[in-house]
Amino acid sequence: MKITGNIRKMRTELKEGAQYYLNLFDNLNPGEETPMNKLVGKEVKISFHGQINCTVSGKKIKKIFGDGMSYDAFMSSPMAVPSIIRPELSRIHEGIALRDAEWEEKHHNQPHYVYLSKTSGVKVGVTRPTNVPFRWIDQGAIEAIIIAETPYRQLAGLIEVELKAHMADKTNWRWMLQNRLDEDVDLLDRKDEVLELLPSDYEEFFSDNDEITKIHYPVLEYPIKPISVKLDKLDVLEGTLKGIKGQYLLFDNGRVINMRSHSGYYIELEF
């Protein structure tokens, strides 16, 4: 079977493990979703012939910024506002928008979680409740726990900044794909430890929710030494799909491709 279209970040669900769905767009129009879990263990071919469309404007571009955006879109779209990467910069709760007041009011002047997750190690992060557990699956986390709940994004970002002085806030993608795990780390214990590091001013936002979300991924074999494939340099990727973790497809011979980082690329997918 062959399907064509522009790549978007795979949609995920947590149902008997992480479930993945790939929607190849007709430029800006959604297509039909392909359940990707069923392709694990099968032969898959991805072909790219050089066409990239901006995920915001739809125009043809040569290079992407952010999630498949042109440079102009990256510099102007609310979906690339600096407070996405650095939540502490958000000021919409004060009535001050960095780019788009309506968008930031809807997405950033809303309750947020500060969480710990096990990816390549234990990391701290920020997300909205509506993005749970999808945010954790996108990162390739095997476990996650909420440590604080705040009424708006900036406050969650300030807590994250405090904790970044003591722990990572980014994932080592190679370790994540190798499934390198520290079995001795207990997230509940780590939560108690990090809350002790925070100033008392934040105590009212500490979460009593001690549930640990566990996530299993459809992986038959983890790569010993992951080799990242970029379609700009290798226009055909073909082989046995060994698994899916984070937003990566894991092929045989250690080859991996980050589908999210190829947003906007027009491909042919054969399976």
Other Cβ atoms less than 10 A from the Cβ of 209: the count is 12
Average pLDDT score, the chain: 97
CA–CA dist 189, 154 (Å, integer): 26
Q: What is the residue extent of each domain of the chain?
A: 2-75+221-270, 110-214
pLDDT at 182 over 90: no
Q: What is the pLDDT of residues 198-236, one digit of tens each?
A: 999 999 999 999 999 999 999 999 999 999 999 999 999
CA–CA dist 153, 13 (Å, integer): 24
User: Which residue type sits at 31?
Assistant: G
Which three-class secondary structure state does DSSP give residue 149? strand
User: Which residue type sits at 62?
Assistant: K
What's residue 16's pLDDT? 94
What's residue 181's pLDDT? 82
Other Cβ atoms less than 10 A from the Cβ of 45: the count is 14
In the chain, pLDDT over 90 holds for what percent of residues?
97
Q: What is the pLDDT of residues 58-112, one digit of tens each?
A: 999 999 999 999 999 999 999 999 999 999 999 999 999 999 999 999 999 999 9
User: Which residues pair with residue 12 across a beta bridge?
Assistant: 20
pTM, entire model: 0.96
